Amino acid sequence: QTAPTIKWRLTSGFPKSLDTIYGGAEVLAKRVKELTGGKFQIQVFAAGELVPGGPAALDAVQAGTVECCHTCSYYSFGKEPTFAIGSALPFGMDCRQANAWFYYGNGQKLMDEFFSNYGLQSFPGGNTGTQMGGWYRKELTSLDDIKGLKFRVAGIAGKVWAKLGAVPQQIPGGDIYPSLEKGTIDAAEWVGPYDDEKLGFYKVAKNYYYPGWWEPGLVIHFFVAKKEWDKLPAEYKAAFEAAAFEANVTMMAEYDHKNPAALSRLLSSGVKLRRFSNEIMQAAQKASQEVYAEESAKSPAFKKISEDYFKYAKVQNAWFSIAEASMAQFLHGAK
């Protein structure tokens, strides 16, 4: 029996300008093609070429417009809060912990159970690592400085910031930079040093905060329409899975490779690196828990999966605080 030629289309939730995230889909397409001797071809479309970015990529898979997409499930948070868990939760797990949860914990099983309600099969396919906390025109010296802070932040994180008194604002993409420059908004968050540098925020808002506690390890997924997945020959499934693993690992490595140099460039251009104070972090963590309680009351799936997620996170953090953290502390503290 000869292997069939299969052509799929993949829509990315990201524009080509986010080259590292967008590149994840190209890693998958290239590897799948190589592993199947050129028989299984996946054509990659950037956000906007077939359908817009954001939640539209996932909708396009669900509607059958494309066979698969590469995007963050939290864009669909408005449909069902559980979609946020697939990508990142404030004070949730980092990249390695999330991989552990997905691959060896209950993550993959629980999320696929949830995604199957939407006819989707999911594969972790990239990670940004812990993000930065965004660019602020003024220093945040206390919780009071957050009151009335006009902040460009989306999704579940926006709900947490709103609880702290901020005014989450949605500004059209191209206008984020000028709005920050002119002071129409006071702060904006994006990804991390490498992607942030490209948008030029450092020229107009010098306070660069960390850590991005609302995205401690943003997972990007490949989503495949289940009915298309079921039609694939077993070897093609294996090729797809292997390629998704590779995209997942290499994106993180690529970010780790690119971010230090970008951060050093930012620092040398006068950026003030600032850490969120414990007061802010603790208040934000408390606010996050309130948000989780509210979402759990609305959605049984969110309640069930987020409980498993945070139970797992707690164990992970305890473990990471031993060898990992002390080694990091020693190395980073050494003169």
Partner 1 sequence: MEALLTFSRLIDALTERIGKATTWLVMIVALISAGNASMRYSINWSSNALLEIQWYLFSAIFLLCAGYTLMKNEHVRIDIISGRLSAQSRAWIDIFGFVFFFFPMVYLFVSLGWPFFMMSFSGGEMSSNAGGLIRWPVKILLPVGFALLALQGVSELIKRVAFLRGLIADPTEKEGISAEEQLAAEIAATARGERV
Partner 2 sequence: MNEFLIANMAPIMFGALIVFMLVGFPVAFALAANGIFFGLLGIHLGLLNESLFMALPERVFGIMNNDTLLAVPFFTFMGLVLERSGLAEELLDTIGQLFGPIRGGLAYAVIFVGALLAATTGVVAASVISMGLISLPIMMRYGYDRKIASGVIAASGTLAQIIPPSLVLIIMADQLGRSVGDLYEGALIPGLTLTALYVGFIFLVSIFRPAAVPALPLEARSLHGMKLLMRTLTSLVPPLLLIFLVLGTIFIGVATPTEGGAMGATGALLLALAKKRLSWRLLRQAMDSTAKLTTFVVFILIGARVFSLTFYGVDGHLWVEELLTALPGGVVGFLIVVNILVFVLAFFLDFFELSFIIVPLLAPVADKLGIDLVWFGVLLAVNMQTSFMHPPFGFALFYLRSVAPKEVKTSEIYWGAIPFVLIQIIMVSLIIVFPNIVSYGDSGHGDTKKPEVELSIEQLQQSGSSDAPAQKDDDLAKTLRGEK
Can you tell me the distance from the alpha carbon of 326 to that of 320, in angstroms, rounded to the nearest whole number? 9
Question: Which of positions 193-212 make contact with partner 2 (CB under 8 A)?
Answer: 197-204, 210
Q: Residue from 27, 28, 60, 191 that binds partner 2 (CB under 8 A)? A: 60
Q: Which residues pair with 210 in a beta bridge?
A: 275
Can you tell me the distance from the alpha carbon of 136 to that of 133, in angstroms, rounded to the nearest whole number? 9
**H/E segment holding residue 40:** strand 40-45
161 near partner 1 (CB under 8 A): yes
Using the rule CB under 8 A, give the single segment among 9-17, 95-103, 168-176, 309-317 that binds partner 1.
Answer: 168-176
Least distance between partner 2 and beta carbon 211 (Å): 10
Question: Which of positions 31-60 make contact with partner 1 (CB under 8 A)?
Answer: 55, 59
Which of partner 1, Na ion, partner 2, none does residue 108 bind to, with CB < 5 to 8 Å depending on kind? none
What is the chain's Cα-based Rg? 20
Can you tell me the distance from the alpha carbon of 265 to that of 267, in angstroms, rounded to the nearest whole number? 5
48: tokens are 């906007």
Q: Residue from 73, 122, 131, 306 that binds Na ion (CB under 5 A)? A: 131
| Per-residue binding letters, 158-187, with partner 2 (x by CB under 8 A) | ------------xxxxxx-xxx-xxxx---
Which of partner 2, Na ion, partner 1, none does residue 131 bind to, with CB < 5 to 8 Å depending on kind? Na ion
Q: Which residues pair with 69 in a beta bridge?
A: 11, 223
Least distance between Na ion and beta carbon 220 (Å): 12
- Those residues with Cβ within 8 angstroms of residue 78's Cβ, 6 or more apart along the chain or in another chain: 55
- Those residues with Cβ within 8 angstroms of residue 11's Cβ, 6 or more apart along the chain or in another chain: 45, 47, 49, 50, 51, 57, 60, 61, 65, 66, 69, 70
Which of partner 2, partner 1, Na ion, none does residue 273 bind to, with CB < 5 to 8 Å depending on kind? partner 2
128 near Na ion (CB under 5 A): no
Q: How many residues does the chain have?
A: 335
**Which residues form the interface with Na ion (CB under 5 A)?**
131, 189, 215
Contacts to partner 1 by CB under 8 A: 55, 59, 62-63, 74-80, 147-148, 150, 154-155, 158-159, 161-162, 167-170, 184
